[in-house]
Chains A and B, each alone.
Chain A
Amino acid sequence: MLTYIIRRLFYAIPILLGVNLLTFTLFFVVNTPDDMAVSQLGAKYVTPEAIQSWKKKNGYDRPLFYNPDAAGSGAVTETIFFAKSLRLFAFDFGRSESGRDITTDISTRMWPSLAVAVPSFVVGIWVNICVALLVVMFHATRLDRWIVFVFVAMMSISYLFYIIGGQYLVAKTWRLVPISGFHAHGQFWKFLILPVLVGVVAGIGSGARWYRTLFLEEANQDYVRTARAKGASEIRILFRHILPNALIPILTGIVVLIPSLFMGGLLVESFFGIPGLGSYMLDAIKSQDFAIVRSMVFIGSILYIIGLILTDISYTWADPRLRLD
């Protein structure tokens, strides 16, 4: 297995390089270093000297990819791409365009992200699996058809609607929880109730419907008929026989997401005022802070790759017949 993991890690290098190159190109197609300088310096008294000075101070006074004035390897190394993007491989994220240390910001902001993402993820999966198994129990009945209809309706509704609707009903009209905000200390849990509730409810439609399909495939297998013939209760059949056998496709969908929980959610964090990494990314895009954008995209790519490796490893746990070579 170790060989497999090492091989996969090596495969990750060209992927990360490609992601970096793509992010860099896309960003600088839209924004020139001069644009970045103007947006950082403000709209007033922005002289060409001030723009030049900002670019020099922040290392944007070089060519993007190729420096014809530099000798030897300097033609490649004395460029913005090399200086800004490739040092990420050493996990040196540097400072944001406004001067803050990105590593410090990320390490501070990942905790609020996790505080919302982990309960939403865990409770969401648990609820989806339970609901799906119960629906499977009533397969091919009128109840099953109605529930599937409700699932389709729920997954057709925009996530934004759940957020705004939840805020409007639960926080504004019924005044049961704060509408938004977060405190790292004190009664921090009361800020999590609504985002977690919204996250779980919004995910039931698509999640439970997908799991229902997986469970139904297993429900028609011979071993289920055998268990039933042996007098096992329906609950036991569902949780002890069908669920473990349907785990592989479930793991494919969820294990890859686990590392990404660090990254938080763009919409949830923005609407609920959670000072996590999702809103960090969104703010950076709005303020054209390339230093933060490239760092977050890089971290996101790494976490996704780790997620994929973990998924492969989890297969061996779910199905002992599998071996990773």
Chain B
Amino acid sequence: MKVDQIASNTKTQRHFTQLWLMAVVMFLAACDERPWNDPQLPSPDGLVTYQSMIISTPPKHLDPAISYASDESLFTMQIYEPPLTYHFLKRPYELIPGALDSLPEVTYLDSAGKAVKEDDESVAFTRYTLHLRDDVHYQPHPAFALDASGRPEYLFETAEAGERYHQIPDFPHTGDRPVQANDYVYAIKRLADPVIGSPMLGFMSQYIVGMKAFSEQVGSLPRDQWLNLDNYSMKGLEVVDDRTLTITIIGRYPQFLFWLAMPFFSPVSPEVDRFYQNPGFVDRNLTLDWWPVGSGPFLMASNDPNSEIILERNPNYRADFFPSEGEPGDLEAGFLEDAGKPIPFLDRAVFRLEKESLSQWTKFLQGYYDRSGEVHSQPAGLFDRAFQIGANGVELAPELKEHNITMSPDVQPAVYYYGFNMRDPVVGGYTEKKRKLRRALQIAFQTEDYLNIFYMGNGIVAENPIPPGIPGHLEGEAGMNPYVYDWVDGVAQRKPIEYARQLLAEAGYPNGRDEITGEPLKIFLDVQSQAINNTLMTWIVRVFSQIGVQVEFRPADFNRTREKMLTGNTQIFSFGWSADYPDPENFLFLLYGPEGPLECACDGANNGNYSNEEYDRLFRQMRILPQGPERDSLVARMVELFRYDAVWLFAYYPTEIFLNNSWVHNNKRHGISRATLKYVRVEPDERAKMQNRRNQPITSPLYAAALILVALALPGVIAYRRRQKATARHAQE
């Protein structure tokens, strides 16, 4: 062997040794007490961290004027505190003061601005007076930081001056201040600013006095720098003192109180608005849309929407306590164990983006996520393995029970339905024949089977547009649709299919054929492509074939389906509505005539173009009435009209089942509000113990893999050596 070859071999050996040493060091570094497959970073010492997930898509907007999606309110509702909020435990849902010291005072005014009684016919305006608590404080934030002269520390003339700041934690100094009444006024002015593009602008302009004029005024101003909205007034807003403001709306609109519990009405300080208008900030995503600033229980500590969002306890959060009373059954369910204790219980909450169901589900089972979801309960596709249908309905699979995982079923305040286009020449119309046709189709569609087969029973048949938990929803015989069901032995029983055939014949389609032309009756279903599959289509075809009706499906994407509904070019369509607030008005408006797209030539909510003069008149009356028996009777009559006219083919209230690991407490779900993180309590020691127990690595496959590699390599090496040593004669042989 030559000298240089020997030297080369020695060098190679040295490199190998170095590589092995590096590998050993990396391995030893990994060998702490945590399981090998732990995907979470260790929590800072002594801080209680809640581990959760954002499913599928990160939030797009966190600016309270823009954010509207439920995925976004998961964050905005922890960071911001609107004037009102919901009681965590009580059902039906109950409004309580949030940042206010009491519910708003309501004053009714006539057109001259003089106070009148609530039931006075001359009521032209309603004024809400809001009194703030005296301990509501903003989180620490650089927007409030002041320099030695008392001026804002972080206001820059040029983009270069502030270019070293890329995230809010990069700013070394922060400040804070109490929340003032003007901050709420400023927030409402932002809703009206067309440059911001709030989804509330069009809707709220109908109500808040002067909002439209304000919007037009500020919309016409040049925007080469920050526009201080405080310099422009809106007629319906008044700051009485630092802790009191009034909002005046047009006419009566009792549901306005519910809007005051939404993030749109959270305070925004002018300092914060000005801070984010610093030159160059928007180019580094330093905006209110990504770094919200509020007075709620948590603050945004880290925002990487591509991987994780971290919230931390707001050190300036006001005194707040776990509720001491709930609805019947809460005490027994353990939801009042923490009654009267100060909240929030958590120091940090980490939300990691999870896109794939296998990862979501595996990490939850491994104990790396505390609950199976926040906004969406269970990963699609793996649902079947988590649950089984037992004697009492949906039950947990045995392997989940072994882990002491618990279920939190939650009937959503929402309704999903297939509606008839009431202007369609075949299924639409208000003659008795048309009603009979629609009722026959309603009876034939076995909604109970549909829910059992395709949703594992997770849903409740809706015989009324108003879901449970909302006033106006009725249970028992009163809640039954008598045109589709019979009350038999205390249970609603779907009318027999023979009755559906009879109705169909009376409607002019004996045995499913037109009595004049003899053509078979064919109905057309417009559905979103992702909401239908071959199995479901086969099932629907089979269901309607029982009465001789043929079905044709017209699947399309959301935009095309929406376009068809706007132009009335649909016969039967699928749609869903989730409550903005727990009031029947928020559901009954789905059938209000002027909301029909063909009526208003707009994106109205009455996609079926249902039009009934009595219904519309009752709706207008009901809308402005306060809760009470008079309103209840109007609601009941409207529901009766909805049933009589057979407006929807079928409907159901979706049920979601959330799963909780054993170390998470206070898991009661709130259908309307997402401001519930402050009530959640976790036991970190128990979690660490269970994580270790569930995640002991199985190393035998590593040894097996090494053995297989050796077994594969060995014959090769032997063959190679034999070949190298072979003589020419042997090689030929």
Contact = CB atoms under 8 A, between A and B. Distances in A.
B602 A104 contact: no
Interface residues of B, number: 62
Interface in A165-197: 167-169, 171-183, 185-187, 189-191
Interface stretch (B229-237, B309-317, B325-333, B351-359): B351-359
Contact of B199 (A35, A44, A101, A272): A44
Contacts of A158: none
A177 B197 contact: no
B716 interface: yes
B38 A178 contact: yes
Interface in B351-389: 352-356, 358-359, 362-363, 366
A9 interface: no
Interface in A108-149: 108-109, 134, 137-138, 143
B306 A42 contact: no
B202 A171 contact: no
B30 interface: yes
A191 B36 CA distance: 11
A234 B720 contact: yes
A207 B308 CA distance: 36
Given A57-B197, A271-B359, A101 B285 contact: yes
Interface string B534-562: 00000000000000000000000011001
B56 to A, nearest CB: 9
A50 interface: yes
A220 interface: no
Given A50-B201, A143-B716, A175-B697, A279 B57 contact: no
A3 interface: no
A183 B202 CA distance: 42
B37 A275 contact: no
Contacts of A179: 37, 39, 358-359, 362-363, 366
A279 to B, nearest CB: 7
B307 interface: yes
B716 A134 contact: yes
Given A98-B60, A99-B289, A234-B724, A171 B37 contact: yes
A176 B697 contact: yes
B194 interface: yes
Nearest to A289: B60
Contact of B287 (A54, A99, A105, A176): A99
Contacts of A189: 26
A156 interface: no
Interface in B699-733: 699, 701-702, 715-716, 719-720, 723-724
B363 A104 contact: no
A48 B603 contact: yes
B61 interface: yes
A47 interface: yes
B195 interface: yes
Contacts of B194: 53
B359 A180 contact: yes
A241 B13 CA distance: 24
B188 to A, nearest CB: 16
Given A31-B559, A109-B306, A286-B57, A104 B353 contact: no
Contacts of B17: none
A309 interface: no
A325 B559 CA distance: 53
B200 A45 contact: yes
Contacts of A167: 358-359, 362
B696 A44 contact: no
A49 interface: yes
A15 interface: no
B284 interface: yes
B222 to A, nearest CB: 15
A322 interface: no
A48 B355 contact: no
Contacts of A275: 304, 306-307, 353
A100 interface: yes
Contact of B358 (A137, A143, A168, A176): A168
A10 B194 CA distance: 44
B199 to A, nearest CB: 5
A143 B698 CA distance: 32
A270 interface: yes
Interface in B176-203: 194-195, 197, 199-203
Contact of B203 (A45, A98, A173, A287): A45
Pick the most buried of B287, B289, B304, B356: most chain A CB atoms within 10 A of its CB: B356
Nearest to B368: A178
B144 interface: no
Given A49-B202, A175-B696, A180 B306 contact: no
Contact of A39 (B558, B602, B699): B558
Nearest to A46: B603
A104 B197 contact: no
A183 B350 CA distance: 13
A283 B29 CA distance: 35
Contacts of B366: 175, 179
A273 interface: yes
Contacts of B201: 49-50, 53
B488 interface: no
A233 B39 contact: no
B580 interface: yes
Nearest to B61: A98
A42 B61 CA distance: 11
Given A138-B716, A177-B37, A179-B359, A50 B695 contact: no
Contacts of B562: 38
A178 B39 contact: yes
A101 B284 contact: yes
Contacts of A185: 41
Contacts of A38: 559, 562
Contacts of A279: 306, 355
Given A31-B559, A167-B359, A172-B362, A47 B723 contact: no
Contacts of B558: 39
Given A50-B202, A179-B363, A233-B724, A270 B306 contact: no
Given A190-B36, A287-B57, A42 B199 contact: yes
A143 B715 CA distance: 10
Contacts of B203: 45, 47
B453 interface: no
A280 interface: yes
B159 interface: no
B199 A45 contact: yes
A44 B723 CA distance: 76
A48 B603 CA distance: 8
Contacts of A283: 57-58
A171 B355 contact: no
Interface string B283-307: 1110101100000000000001011
B356 A270 contact: yes
B355 A50 contact: no
A304 B704 CA distance: 41
Closest A-B pairs by Cβ, 7 of them: A275-B306, A178-B39, A181-B39, A180-B359, A47-B202, A275-B307, A35-B559
Given A143-B719, A164-B358, A279-B306, 5 more contacts: A45-B199, A95-B282, A101-B285, A176-B702, A273-B354
15 contacts: A32-B559, A45-B199, A100-B285, A137-B720, A143-B715, A167-B359, A168-B358, A173-B698, A179-B366, A186-B41, A270-B355, A272-B359, A273-B307, A273-B356, A279-B355
Interface of B: 26, 29-30, 35-39, 41, 57-58, 60-61, 68-69, 194-195, 197, 199-203, 282-285, 287, 289-290, 304, 306-307, 352-356, 358-359, 362-363, 366, 558-559, 562, 580, 602-603, 695-699, 701-702, 715-716, 719-720, 723-724
Interface of A: 31-32, 35, 38-42, 44-50, 53-54, 57, 95, 98-101, 103-105, 108-109, 134, 137-138, 143, 164, 167-169, 171-183, 185-187, 189-191, 233-234, 270-273, 275, 279-280, 283, 286-287
